Amino acid sequence: MGRTAFLYSDDFLSYDLGGAHPLQQRRLQMVYRLLGAYGVLAPEGPIEWKTPVPATQEEILRVHTPDFVAMVMRAGTGYRGPDLKRYGLSDGDTPAFNSMYEAAALYAGGTVEAARLLLTGNYDYAFNVAGGLHHAHPDHASGFCTFNDLAMGALTLRDGGLQRVVYIDIDAHHGDGVQACFYDDPETMTISLHESGQFLFPGTGFAEEVGNGAAAGTSLNIPYYPYTLDDVWHNAFDAVIPDALARFKPDAVIFQFGADAHWEDPLAHLLITSEGWMRMVDKLFRLTQGLPAIVTGGGGYNIKTVARLWTMVAARCAEIELPDQVPASYAAQYDIHYLHDRETPQVEESVQRDARAYVENQLETLKALI
Ligand SMILES: [Zn+2]
């Protein structure tokens, strides 16, 4: 059985970008409570609930520039001057808020702690449900993300001797911040499957972006056309990623399981079903079996979908089969009745043809460069 730690605290809800903001962190509490309702958290169940500690300033400064970190601190204590803009902290996406530094340090600390738990050798999977903030760049916040917990997690794994880390991101958006952190680093591979930057934020993540110099071939991107369905999503992955993983021979893995590729997500346009999405999670776990794995969340703006998918991820880490029907008291409170979808998205054949052609074209470019 997979030994699994699940990092959660109600304090994660302090990363609060506002009541009308698409990022609603009560989704994290919904995951925690659904796992509790199923009785799979210790002491009743096999998943060990751990509370995170904030990342230290030293840990944050390993990834981020001193002036950016100082500006997040000032923003968190009420500063609202015009130079916030330079650090990505003044737009509607990632607005400054009080205690922003502490809130961002806490979610980032969850991923650092997940790495430390894996390094003890006592866990196969450590799931920081608040992690996965993949748009944060070394010198600026972006796309709802302040600190890049994923890069901090990778460096912590490396401290413990897990030198070759592969980062795999299935969020609907390109994992641009993590890619930027490791674009010149041949020992860290970043893989991102996402809706093409031609159609969606952040506008990057094309097949041509394969890494610099000695790191060429260790940044892999598969951009998809809007309205892509399960089979096209999987087939493009199968065409390049398993071979790339086998060649890279990682010592550890970091997953970013943003839930916004799901068809009910309001911010993106991929049409992945819960079945197709979990089939990908399962495939990734089988491909990386035996490697210590940090699991994180990420995007996900239909909070009921997030609660369903990430609960299933935690159960899959511990190799537990959950009944599809959600426990009654939870279902009544949150109006979530089944883990899996009850409906399937439909797309015209001509659009499906376009989706296939688009990704095949990107794959040709990618295969020629790696
Ligand atoms: Zn996303």
Q: Give the tens place of pLDDT for each residue, 42-60.
A: 998 899 999 999 999 999 9
The values of phi and psi at residue 37, to 5°, are -65, -35
Return averaged pLDDT per consecutive 10 residues of the chain, 370 residues in all. Answer: 89 97 98 98 95 98 98 97 96 95 98 98 98 98 98 98 98 98 98 98 98 98 98 98 98 98 98 98 98 98 98 98 98 98 97 98 97
For residue 364, how far is its CA from the centre of ligand 1 (angstroms)? 25
Q: Please state, as a whole number, how many other Cβ atoms lie within 10 Å of the Cβ of residue 16.
A: 17
135 is catalytic: yes
Which CATH architecture fits 4-369?
3-Layer(aba) Sandwich (3.40)
Domain residue spans of the chain: 4-369
Catalytic entry in 134, 135, 173, 269: 135
Burial of 66 (0-12, 13-18, 19+ CB in 10 A): exposed
For residue 45, how far is its CA from the centre of ligand 1 (angstroms)? 31
The whole-angstrom separation of Cα 79 and Cα 81 is: 6
Mapped onto helix, strand or coil, the DSSP state of residue 165 is strand
For residue 134, how far is its CA from the centre of ligand 1 (angstroms)? 8
The whole-angstrom separation of Cα 370 and Cα 366 is: 6
For residue 12, how far is its CA from the centre of ligand 1 (angstroms)? 18
Mapped onto helix, strand or coil, the DSSP state of residue 15 is coil
Structure confidence at residue 2 (pLDDT): 60
For residue 298, how far is its CA from the centre of ligand 1 (angstroms)? 7
